[in-house]
Chain A
Amino acid sequence: NAGVTQTPKFQVLKTGQSMTLQCAQDMNHNSMYWYRQDPGMGLRLIYYSASEGTTDKGEVPNGYNVSRLNKREFSLRLESAAPSQTSVYFCASREQGTGELFFGEGSRLTVL
């Protein structure tokens, strides 16, 4: 049982480059989330998808786009990366009954 799988685990970009972080869950959860975590700042919500076909902005959506491809997959795209987007990104999915979130292993992104 893989749970939540994120790729890539590490990525280095130059300013202005684009990339997509991929996330897939095999727990049949409706809701999925993208967070970023910076030292001393805790988890900040970028975007979430309450169900297949819907996406909504979180606390820090600027510079990002998302796609809920199907029930399993939720991708995060950086169209023109900036050094301020250097961070660790976590994808999570939510168990509907309990509200518990389950996280992927994280993607460490460095923008030079």
Chain B
Amino acid sequence: QKEVEQNSGPLSVPEGAIASLNCTYSDRGSQSFFWYRQYSGKSPELIMSIYSNGDKEDGRFTAQLNKASQYVSLLIRDSQPSDSATYLCAVNSPSGNYQLIWGAGTKLIIKP
């Protein structure tokens, strides 16, 4: 069973601090990794995609990938109350054609 694991939270972070979200995956053959943000009652929205080891930065967001350790993380700098949402990690399934394997999500709460 291919899995993607995330801490369900809630993760509470003070406004202005760095929020760190983590995700581990089981399939060493996975090559594509995605972070989605989902506000309550809304659909998932793509934040970042990452394909190579290392860091990828986009504004206040940084995705980090370590294939050897099979984890991917998302850092949110200068956290804002509007960042409060559930963050979903998704990983491509090399054996499941065209499919993504989804984590259950981490609920992030930014406290003013």
Hey, which bits of chain A sit against chain B, CB under 8 A?
31, 40-43, 45, 48, 50, 56, 58, 90, 94, 98-106
In the complex, A42 Cα to B100 Cα: how many Å? 12
Q: Which of A41, A90, A101 contacts B104 (CB 8 A)?
A: A41
In the complex, A38 Cα to B98 Cα: how many Å? 22
Q: Which of A94, A98, A104 contacts B43 (CB 8 A)?
A: A104
Contacts beyond the supplied A40-B104, A106-B43: 7 A-B pairs with Cβ under 8 Å: A50-B98, A98-B32, A100-B34, A101-B46, A102-B46, A105-B42, A105-B43
Chain B residues whose CB sits within 8 angstroms of the CB of A48 once the complex forms: 98-99
B79-101 with Cβ < 8 A to chain A? 88, 90, 92, 97-100
Is B45 in the interface zone, CB < 8 Å from A?
yes
In the complex, A31 Cα to B55 Cα: how many Å? 28
B46 touching A100, Cβ below 8 Å: yes
Within the complex, the shortest CB–CB distance from A98 to chain B, in Å, comes to 6
Is B102 in the interface zone, CB < 8 Å from A?
yes
Chain A's closest residue to B102 (CB) is A43
Q: Contacts A42-B88, A43-B88, A98-B49 hold; do A103 and B102 have CB atoms under 8 A apart?
A: no
Instruction: Identify the 3 closest CB pairs spanning chains A and B, nearest first.
Output: A42-B104, A103-B43, A99-B32
A90 touching B44, Cβ below 8 Å: yes
A90 touching B34, Cβ below 8 Å: no
Chain A residues whose CB sits within 8 angstroms of the CB of B44 once the complex forms: 43, 90, 101, 103
